[in-house]
Amino acid sequence: MSWPENALTEDERIVSQFRPHWKLLAIPVVWFLLIAAGVFAVFRWVPGGGVVDLVLVVVLVMAFLWLVVKPVIDWYFTRYVLTTERLITRKGLISRHGVEIPLENITNVNFSQTIFERLLGAGDLLVESAGETGHSAFFDIPHPDRFQAVLYKVREQRTLELKGLAPPPDERTEPAADPEDRLRRLTRLHDEGLISDEEYERKRQALLDEI
């Protein structure tokens, strides 16, 4: 699920978009296995007849919805999007909320990783900004150190644009690069989790057409 193009301004481009790190799905998977074992135990060993079995199954189904389905839905419908103008967070399926931070308002970006998170390629990002937002925390994102570097680079470009020191997007020229080299760089960005699967496939196909 890519970010809709009609949600962007005229000259705005998507730099990176991703969901939270997959490690958030580990606990729901464990709960799924435990609940499945519980359902098996109810029908296999618990005495008492149909009513008792029904009550226990209902309890397990409610636990399944709360401990497995809800976290997966929350993960899937949480999006982090970095564009050439702003940093966007969107959360929720039915009741949605989010935060948008103009890049020129960002004053500082810090990331943190535990040893375990470094092994998994996950971590947290704290974005400090001027204005009412103050600071925003992005928990459990893929490769926060790499995303911090990309964010700083895009913010610097945005600052130059606003000061009139950089050409507008439609006058900017891409550096000449061999399509195969660009394909390798695109693959590296995808492997690092900085672009989504949909965006990777779209750009990959365009580069393959050039080769």
Q: pLDDT tens digits, residue range 102-126?
A: 999 999 999 999 999 999 999 999 9
Give the tokens for residue 79. 């999006």
Tell which wins on pLDDT, 91 or 206: 91
Range of the domain at 51: 25-74
Confidence (pLDDT) at 57: 83
User: Mean pLDDT throughout 6-17?
Assistant: 83
Q: Which of 151-160, 169-178, 184-193 has the lowest mean pLDDT?
A: 169-178
pLDDT of residue 85 exceeding 60, the answer is yes
The answer for 197, left when phi > 0, alpha when psi is -120 to 50, beta otherwise, is alpha
Tell which wins on pLDDT, 164 or 148: 148
Q: Which of 39-43, 97-101, 107-111, 142-146 has the lowest mean pLDDT?
A: 39-43
Fill in the DSSP letter of residue 65: I
User: Mean pLDDT throughout 126-135?
Assistant: 79
The verdict on residue 159 lying in a domain is no
Give the tokens for residue 114. 């535990």
Confidence (pLDDT) at 19: 93
Structural domain total, the chain: 1
Residue 20 pLDDT class (50, 70, 90 cuts): very high
Of 38-52, 72-86, 173-187, the range with the highest mean pLDDT is 72-86
pLDDT of residue 83 exceeding 70, the answer is yes
The verdict on residue 162 lying in a domain is no
Cβ contact 127:138 at 8 Å: yes
pLDDT digits (tens, 9 = 90+) for 21-73: 999 999 999 999 999 998 888 777 766 666 777 788 889 999 999 999 999 99
The verdict on residue 16 lying in a domain is no
The verdict on residue 52 lying in a domain is yes
The verdict on residue 50 lying in a domain is yes
- Averaged confidence pLDDT in the chain: 83
The verdict on residue 148 lying in a domain is no
Could you give the CA distance from residue 103 to residue 13 in angstroms, rounded to a whole number?
13
The verdict on residue 114 lying in a domain is no
The verdict on residue 177 lying in a domain is no
pLDDT of residue 153 exceeding 70, the answer is yes
Could you give the CA distance from residue 121 to residue 199 in angstroms, rounded to a whole number?
21
